[in-house]
Amino acid sequence: MRCKNCGAPLDLNTRFCPNCGSQNEQAIKHINDMEKYGRQFNQTRHQVVSNSKWFVKYITPLTTLAISAIILALAWTLNGMDIGYDISRNHIKSYNKSHSEEIAANMKNLIDNNQYQAAYQAHNYLEWNIVPYGDRSWDAFYSVQWRYNDLRKSITAAFDPAMSDTYNAEESISKAAADIEEIERQIQRLGSSYSNPSEESLECINSIEKEMHLFLKAYCNFTDEDIAALPDMDKTSIITLLAKRMD
C-alpha cells in the first residue's frame, strides 16, 4: 500500500503517512472494519457465556465431536483404517436423529442472529441442517459461506507472516480470485438453480455478498467501481485487479 499524496510505502494499520503526514484513508477503513468485527465477536461471546441453557445444549454434540475426532485421528495413525471414521459418523448421525427438533431450533437461532459462520461450521462438522435432510433450499448458502471463509483466509494470509509457509503472495491472490469469481457466479445463477433456494436463504446470501464487498474494500483497497464490475470479470481479470489494488 502506498500513500496517495507522496507515494511512500504504508502499513495497513498506519493512520497517517510518516513521510508527509497525510491521512491514510484505507487504514482508517481497515481499523473501523476490524473494530466492527471485534464488536460482533464480543456480542457473540457475551451471548454464549450468558445463555447457560444454550451452552448446555451444545455440550453434548461438541463432546461427541471431540471424541469422534480423537477416534478418527487414531484410525489415521493405524494405517488409515476406516473404523474411526465410521464410528464418528455413526455418533453424529445417532445424535442428530434423536435431537432433530433441538438442532433445527439451534440452527434457526444462528441464522436469525446473522451468525452464518457458526451455522456453516455446525453444518460442515456436525452435519446439522437448517432444514430437514433432503431439502436442498439452503445448499447455495452453505456453498457461498464456504467460499467466503476461504477468501478471507487467502487474503489475510497476504498480511500475516505466520502464514507465509502456507500461502505465498501469488498463491493467496490466485485463491482469492477463484473464490470471488465462484461466489459471484453462484449468486448470478441462483434464479435458475435446481436447488430452488428459499427466500430466507437468498437474503442470507445477499448479506454474505455485502460482507464480502466490505472486506474487499477494507483489505484490498477495492473501490465501488471495482465491486460493481466483479460479476462480469473472469479469474484472470480479478487476479490483475487484486494485484493492482494490493500493491
Residue 23: φ, ψ to 5°: -70, 135
Which own/partner pairs from 160-166 qualify as long-range (CB within 8 Å, at least 24 positions apart)?
Answer: none
Q: Which pLDDT value is given to residue 210?
A: 92
Tell me the average pLDDT across 120-141.
Answer: 87
Whether the predicted pLDDT of 84 surpasses 90: no
Tell me the average pLDDT across 202-212.
Answer: 93
C-alpha cell at 229: 464490475
DSSP characters over 97-151:
HHTHHHHHHHHHHHHHTT-HHHHHHHHHHH---SS-TT--TTHHHHHHHHHHHHH
Whether the predicted pLDDT of 109 surpasses 70: yes
Model confidence, pTM: 0.64
Identify whether the C-beta of residue 246 lies closer than 8 Å to the C-beta of residue 173.
yes
The SS3 assignment for 15 reads: coil
Domain locations in the chain as residue ranges: 1-35, 51-135, 136-247
What percentage of residues in the chain have a pLDDT greater than 90? 28
Q: Which pLDDT value is given to residue 54?
A: 44
